[in-house]
Amino acid sequence: MATDIKDAVHAVEAAAVMRLLPARPRLLALGEPTHGEDTLLDLRNELFRRLVEQEGYRTIAIESDCMRALVVDDHVSSGTGTLGEVMEHGFSHGWGALAGNRELVRWIRAYNEGRPASERLRFAGFDGPLEITHAASPRQALIALHRYLAARVDADLLPCTGETLDRLLGTDDRWTDPAAMTDPARSVGQSAEAKELRLLADDLVALLDAQTPHLITATSRDDWDRARLYGRTATGLLRYHYWMADTSPARMTRLVSVRDQMMAHNLLAVAARGPALVHAHNSHLQREKSTMRMGGMPLEWWSAGALVSAQLGEEYAFVATALGTIRHQGVDTPPPDTVEGLLYALPEDRCVIDAPRLATALGDTRPAPRVSPWFGYAPLDPAHLADSDAIVFVKDVRQS
């Protein structure tokens, strides 16, 4: 069996990853089992650089606020703003402080320098404007969508005025109150104003769709794409806030599901624009159901990757990442009867594994699930090895 496993091992190279796939997928997703480790971000950057140069990928999308990411895309596409400003304002979740993300933005901007628009590399965030502690107000997206339409279609076609939206939205702190995450009574998501906003947002998105031929001609496809992003974000946030106000046992499941639905819709929009590379936590990109415990409750939902894979088929590929040790977080050498333990015994410090072939090589052998002593690292699920197209294994993650 050890020989069979070695036959599934390859160097961490773009060409090696592509050889494991039947064809170049429209979305090639690289997952990570933990966030914020420079080792993994450096690996991502190197692999993505080669895939852009060798395979013609034209967008890099990461697990960050889709609205904030517009600041990054403007910078890498046209040089708007300084790198420091972009890192401060263009990322959510604190990702702008990570050296690996700063290097990624710097490289994309350098890559685009002097290239025609059709050959430039784009940047996208595909997460909603959501944090663990709160969700953003729908104001930015909803007002931006209304302004886009108001400047280009007859006023009689608009379902409301900007003043009406402003009155219904009220102050942003009503929407972003962190107490609402644990106390549904503090959420405004099921107020009369929020329910009316959901109807108006739906009408604005319908108007955007109905006026597509005129709008693309009057502006550009890029401007229309951005308006569609505003629409997806506004309706998604209003849906998320609605379920924040829910008091049923399914409340948290609804919230994590809505978040991944927003991610999936953004990824499908990115895919419609052309071949893209995606980076996020494994749990957002995997094909099987995602699970976690929150507040002592077990949650289970379909991830963005599962939703996208169901629609794109072989046009979606998922490469998971697994780790041996993260000693500075208390994650030591994996037990030998786990998948990570088997891979840790290989001589390579890092490698790409043919996941379906590894699952076949293991046959009836059932590796034990690895249990991480640190909540921030999610080990592989040995029951779903074959659901990944490949696995990147990194033996040891060093502290930055």
The alpha helices in 170-220, defined as continuous H runs, are 173-176, 192-210, 212-218
Output the six-digit token pair for 24.
């170049």
Q: What are phi and psi of 300, to 5 degrees?
A: -145, 130
Report yes or no: 299 and 256 within 8 Å, Cβ to Cβ: yes
- Radius of gyration from C-alpha coordinates of the chain: 22
pTM above 0.95, yes or no: yes
Q: What is the mean pLDDT of residues 134-141?
A: 97
Would you say residue 1 has pLDDT above 50?
no
Output the six-digit token pair for 286.
């995997």
Q: What is the pLDDT of residues 283-304, one digit of tens each?
A: 999 999 999 888 778 999 999 9
Q: What are phi and psi of 79, to 5 degrees?
A: 85, 10
Which amino acid is present at 109? Answer: R
Q: What is the dihedral of CA 223, 226, 228, 234, to 10 degrees?
A: -140
Helical pair 99-112 and 38-55, crossing angle rounded to 10 deg:
20
Q: What is the dihedral of CA 214, 215, 216, 218, to 10 degrees?
A: 80
Q: What is the pLDDT of residues 308-327, one digit of tens each?
A: 999 999 999 999 999 999 99
Percent of the chain with pLDDT over 90: 95
pLDDT at 364: 85
Pairing of strands 27-32, 316-325: parallel
Q: Provide the mean pLDDT of the chain.
A: 96
pLDDT at 365: 85
Q: What is the pLDDT of residues 343-394, one digit of tens each?
A: 999 999 999 999 999 999 998 888 999 999 999 999 999 999 999 999 999 9
Report the alpha-carbon distance of residue 92 to residue 70 in Å, rounded: 12
Would you say residue 3 has pLDDT above 60?
no
Give the pLDDT band (50/70/90) at residue 247.
Answer: very high
pLDDT at 236: 98
Give the pLDDT band (50/70/90) at residue 184.
Answer: very high
Q: What is the mean pLDDT of residues 246-264?
A: 97
Report the alpha-carbon distance of residue 25 to residue 120 in Å, rounded: 19
Q: Longest C-alpha distance within the chain, in Å?
A: 71
Q: Is 320 helix (H, G, I), strand (E, B) or coil?
A: strand
Report yes or no: 269 and 225 within 8 Å, Cβ to Cβ: yes
pLDDT at 366: 87
pLDDT at 296: 79
Which amino acid is present at 153? Answer: V
Report the alpha-carbon distance of residue 2 to residue 384 in Å, rounded: 20
Q: What are phi and psi of 188, to 5 degrees?
A: -95, 5
Quick one: which of 308, 323, 315, 316 has its CA closest to 32? 323
Give the pLDDT band (50/70/90) at residue 221.
Answer: very high
Quick one: which of 2, 11, 8, 16 has its CA closest to 349? 11
Pairing of strands 9-10, 350-353: antiparallel
Report the alpha-carbon distance of residue 196 to residue 208 in Å, rounded: 19
Report the alpha-carbon distance of residue 227 to residue 206 in Å, rounded: 12
